[in-house]
């Protein structure tokens, strides 16, 4: 029976990468790149081949192996594994690069910043302080070849071959026998008389001075070159001179050297060193200190090295969110560091955290995620958006805070291309219908219209036909002038999605009514849109063969490219409205108005203005029709009215109340609850008859705005809508020919046809006592 001896090198869990060695400390060690066989993780492997007749060197190598295995410090090369055989020694450490090679590569890439050097030297001095003051060990080999750099740019002290005890245990310093290393020895070692008084750290601090000289000036040609500081920064020169002084007694202890360099104005007194020191002790910092640190971190990241941000700052940010309850403050630096990652790294490290953040009930977290969605939306796939993100985002539509609702609407511009059929054409349209009809904030109603116009090309053909015309028509009746402008521009931006019949019978009549609007900006945009639609109709009239080409997008499937030309024509000048909600919220950050009055539209001179009456900021859906005006519209709306009996009224309001009871929102100190401008006295009635819950019936979108007799005055610090330039021509000093037009007649002055048994004032109505449950009485 034959027995085969096992090969320990073959069974070793690490392997060398077949390429030339990277170098290493002067001597018999060779540094190779390697990897772990099981995982492929990169490591560094120091290899020493045992040669006959080199017993002394072999003993030095084995001593270095033992030292590295037993010494553990963040600034000393980290030992992972090792192999010792009769033929070789393998020492596996973290993946590092020799400092000389690293500096050369950085110079070729544009140079090494002083911030990086200051922190690197700080680490080497701290390692020496640990060895001398805590372990009573003399390194005896501090030089460029004994320093290594990891992937985060951290400097590590290695080259422990010639280390010995400062207390004399185990004999004196080992003999080096290598001329390249002996040039770093201090001059007092040449004095064999022993009369020179020195400290145990004196020799290592001299070698530290040599290292500093080489970092800034290149390889040290001879010891006499140390007299000329060369390119060493002025703030470091005084401390450098102490290190290379002829008197070893005055050379500072490593701990005192650090203290001197960290003094105000010192070489190591900078934001980069302070950030690294905080990260090293972040686990023992108070929560308030962590919050302040992360808030200030974003300002400094631009000046920090990219590798440092990726491999040191990012893991700390992820840990702080996962285990430290850091909250929303980590978002800004997290996304800033994410710019340095590849797409694969972003998917692995950032996206799981982002998905988890969306499920948070912290208001500050939610609003920051929505504000910065543009930075990570491209890394989200459609299944993740539809199943893990959108269900949480839609809660923002029902939030009581206007800022949350505004950011949720704006985020739909980014999410819409990734939403599936049900979420986009059903769920989202339901919330948009509710916001446009019932939100008490005019800018949010305006933003909803703007967003709908921009995502219209993503909707299905049936949804576009059912929703767009009704939604933009409603916007043109909004008492908030920018909303009316948005409705006009919405028609213009989606003009290719309407048939010629719709343009002639549904859109142009609405736009023509706006040509006498009290606001000149509305009139200007209406005239532009009318001219555009008329030219389109005229071209088809002149050449009917163009009809198919003009209407090619009407019944086409959703496409992100549709409507692009119209969007550029309209310019979407009302995008400036997106900041109006924030302006309104910031006007009174601590107190919410107790009463909101809708300001009156301009009235002709000499005519007394009607007395302002407090009414809801958002007009409620009218339950009445005008008796003699627009008989055609009345006939068309009757079919929608007949379907009211089959609708599920009030489900959205019930969902909102349940959400308010179940979700314990935390403001996080970022969004003040006092900024909620909604008031119970000014919210639309929540009776079952007037609640919005279903957008699918055309009546949900086509109900007209009930125009109040007066409008709410603007809050202090905001400008009137007429003072904004919404994309129209520049204002001139000429008189406005429409300024003397009377305001639109109030619905209180119009004859109305009321339902039997319903209150004419509220518009909501009451149920007949004998009416079947769940059905409305029909009009006689």
pLDDT for residue 23 = 60
Q: Taking residues 723-730, what's their average pLDDT?
A: 42
With contact defined as beta carbons under 8 Å apart, do 288 and 250 qualify?
Answer: no
Distance CA 475, CA 481 (A): 9
Q: Taking residues 242-247, what's their average pLDDT?
A: 89
pLDDT in tens, 362-377: 888 889 899 989 989 9
Confidence band of 193 (pLDDT split at 50, 70, 90): low
Confidence band of 402 (pLDDT split at 50, 70, 90): very high
pLDDT for residue 521 = 93
Q: Taking residues 592-596, what's their average pLDDT?
A: 34
Confidence band of 87 (pLDDT split at 50, 70, 90): confident
pLDDT for residue 54 = 81
Distance CA 45, CA 26 (A): 16
Answer whether residue 271 shows pLDDT above 60: yes
What is the residue whose two structure tokens read 């060369």? 230
Answer whether residue 37 shows pLDDT above 70: yes
Q: Taking residues 600-624, what's their average pLDDT?
A: 36
Report the SS3 class of residue 245.
coil
Distance CA 437, CA 444 (A): 11
pLDDT in tens, 105-136: 988 887 788 999 999 999 999 999 999 999 99
Answer whether residue 524 shows pLDDT above 70: yes
Distance CA 250, CA 238 (A): 13
Distance CA 271, CA 276 (A): 9
pLDDT for residue 189 = 80
Answer whether residue 477 shows pLDDT above 70: yes
Query: Which of the 8 DSSP states describes residue 720?
Result: -
Find the helix or strand (DSSP H, E) in which 195 lies: none
Answer whether residue 84 shows pLDDT above 60: yes
pLDDT for residue 287 = 85
With contact defined as beta carbons under 8 Å apart, do 758 and 622 qualify?
Answer: no
pLDDT in tens, 285-294: 888 898 899 8
Answer whether residue 678 shows pLDDT above 80: no
pLDDT for residue 170 = 64
Q: Taking residues 322-348, what's their average pLDDT?
A: 85
pLDDT for residue 7 = 67
pLDDT for residue 11 = 79
Confidence band of 697 (pLDDT split at 50, 70, 90): very low
With contact defined as beta carbons under 8 Å apart, do 567 and 456 qualify?
Answer: no
Among 192-196, 209-213, 299-303, 495-499, which is the least confidently predicted range?
Answer: 192-196
Q: Taking residues 199-212, what's their average pLDDT?
A: 92
pLDDT for residue 176 = 76
pLDDT for residue 24 = 58
Sign of the dihedral through C-alpha 540, 545, 549, 553: positive
Confidence band of 198 (pLDDT split at 50, 70, 90): confident
Among 148-152, 381-385, 397-401, 615-619, which is the least confidently predicted range?
Answer: 615-619
Confidence band of 6 (pLDDT split at 50, 70, 90): low
Report the SS3 class of residue 45.
strand
Q: Which residue has the higher pLDDT, 669 or 19?
A: 19
> What are the tokens at 280?
């090293």
Confidence band of 295 (pLDDT split at 50, 70, 90): confident
pLDDT for residue 537 = 94
Confidence band of 195 (pLDDT split at 50, 70, 90): low
Answer whether residue 748 shows pLDDT above 70: no
Answer whether residue 733 shows pLDDT above 70: no
Answer whether residue 704 shows pLDDT above 70: no
Beta carbons within 8 Å of 311's beta carbon, 6+ residues apart: 150, 151, 152, 153
Answer whether residue 266 shows pLDDT above 70: yes
Distance CA 601, CA 599 (A): 7
Beta carbons within 8 Å of 404's beta carbon, 6+ residues apart: 363, 366, 367, 370, 396, 671
> What are the tokens at 76?
């000393």
Answer whether residue 714 shows pLDDT above 80: no
Mean pLDDT of the chain, nearest integer = 74
Confidence band of 222 (pLDDT split at 50, 70, 90): confident
Report the SS3 class of residue 31.
strand
Cα-based distances in Å from 712 to 6, 106, 484, 715: 89, 63, 16, 9
Strands 79-84, 137-138: pairing is unpaired
> What are the tokens at 678?
């909604």
Q: Taking residues 346-370, what's their average pLDDT?
A: 88
Confidence band of 382 (pLDDT split at 50, 70, 90): very high
Find the helix or strand (DSSP H, E) in which 313 lies: none
């Amino acid at each position: 029976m034959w027995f085969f001896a096992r090969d320990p090198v073959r069974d070793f869990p690490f392997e060398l990468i077949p390429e030339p060695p990277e170098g290493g400390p002067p001597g018999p060690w060779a540094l190779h790149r390697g990897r772990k066989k099981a995982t492929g993780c990169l490591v560094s492997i120091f290899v020493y081949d045992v040669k006959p007749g080199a017993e002394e060197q072999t003993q030095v190598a084995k001593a270095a192996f033992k030292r590295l295995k037993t010494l553990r410090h963040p600034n000393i090369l980290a030992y992972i594994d090792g192999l010792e055989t009769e033929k070789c020694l393998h020492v596996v450490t973290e993946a590092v690069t020799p400092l000389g090679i690293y500096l050369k590569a950085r110079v070729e890439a544009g140079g090494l910043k002083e911030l990086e050097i200051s922190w690197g030297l700080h680490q080497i001095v701290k390692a020496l302080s640990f060895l001398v003051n805590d372990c009573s060990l003399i390194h005896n080999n501090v030089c460029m070849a004994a320093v290594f750099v990891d992937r985060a740019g951290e400097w590590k002290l290695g080259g422990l071959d010639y280390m010995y005890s400062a207390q004399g245990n185990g004999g004196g310093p080992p003999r080096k026998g290598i001329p390249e290393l002996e040039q770093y020895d201090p001059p007092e070692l040449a004095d064999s008389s022993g009369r020179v008084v020195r400290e145990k750290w004196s020799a290592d601090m001299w070698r530290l001075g040599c290292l500093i000289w080489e970092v800034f000036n290149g390889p040290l040609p001879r010891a006499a070159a140390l007299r000329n500081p060369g390119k060493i920064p002025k703030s470091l020169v005084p401390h450098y001179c102490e290190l290379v002084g002829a008197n070893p007694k005055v050379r500072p202890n490593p701990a005192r050297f650090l203290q001197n360099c960290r003094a105000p104005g010192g070489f190591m007194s900078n934001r980069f060193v302070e950030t690294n020191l905080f990260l090293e002790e972040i686990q023992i910092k108070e929560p308030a200190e962590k919050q302040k640190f992360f808030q200030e971190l974003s300002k400094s990241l631009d000046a920090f090295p990219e590798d440092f941000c990726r491999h040191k700052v990012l893991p700390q940010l992820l840990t702080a969110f996962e285990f430290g309850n850091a909250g929303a403050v980590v978002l800004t630096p997290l996304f800033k560091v994410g710019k340095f990652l590849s797409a694969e790294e972003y998917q692995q490290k950032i996206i799981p955290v982002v998905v988890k953040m969306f499920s948070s009930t912290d208001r500050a977290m939610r609003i920051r995620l929505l504000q910065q969605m543009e930075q990570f939306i491209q890394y989200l796939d459609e299944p993740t958006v539809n199943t893990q993100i959108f269900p949480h985002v839609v809660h923002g539509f029902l939030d009581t805070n206007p800022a949350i609702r505004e950011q949720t609407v704006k985020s739909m511009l980014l999410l819409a291309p990734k939403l599936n059929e049900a979420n986009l054409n059903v769920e989202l349209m339901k919330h948009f219908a509710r916001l446009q009809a019932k939100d008490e904030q005019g800018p949010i109603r305006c933003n909803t219209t703007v967003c709908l116009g921009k995502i219209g090309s993503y909707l299905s053909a049936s949804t576009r036909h059912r929703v767009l015309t009704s939604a933009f028509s409603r916007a043109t009746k909004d008492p908030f002038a920018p909303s009316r402008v948005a409705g006009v521009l919405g028609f213009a931006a989606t003009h290719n999605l309407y048939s010629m019949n719709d343009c002639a019978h549904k859109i142009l009549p609405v736009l023509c009514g706006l040509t006498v609007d009290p606001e000149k900006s509305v009139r200007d945009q209406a005239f532009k849109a009318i001219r555009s639609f008329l030219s389109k109709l005229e071209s088809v009239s002149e050449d009917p063969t163009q009809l198919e080409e003009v209407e090619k997008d009407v019944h086409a499937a959703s496409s992100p490219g549709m409507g692009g030309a119209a969007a550029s024509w309209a310019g979407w000048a009302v995008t400036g409205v997106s900041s109006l909600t924030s302006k309104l919220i910031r006007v009174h950050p601590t107190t919410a108005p107790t009463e909101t009055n809708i300001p009156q539209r301009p009235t002709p001179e000499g005519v007394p203005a009607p007395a302002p009456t407090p009414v809801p900021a958002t007009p409620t859906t009218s339950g009445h029709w005008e008796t003699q005006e627009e008989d055609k519209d009345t006939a068309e709306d009757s079919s929608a009215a007949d379907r009211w009996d089959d609708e599920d009224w009030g489900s959205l309001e019930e969902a909102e109340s349940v959400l308010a009871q179940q979700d314990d929102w935390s403001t996080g100190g970022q969004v003040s609850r006092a900024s909620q401008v909604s008031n119970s006295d000014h919210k639309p009635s929540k009776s079952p008859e007037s609640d919005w819950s279903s957008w699918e019936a055309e009546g949900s979108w086509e109900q007209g705005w009930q125009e109040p007799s007066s409008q709410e005055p603007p809050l202090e610090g905001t400008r009137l809508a007429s003072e904004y330039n919404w994309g129209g021509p520049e204002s001139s000093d000429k008189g406005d020919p429409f300024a003397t037009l009377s305001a639109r007649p109030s619905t209180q002055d119009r004859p109305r046809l009321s339902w039997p048994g319903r209150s004419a004032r509220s518009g909501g109505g009451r149920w007949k006592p004998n009416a079947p449950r769940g059905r409305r009485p029909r009009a006689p």
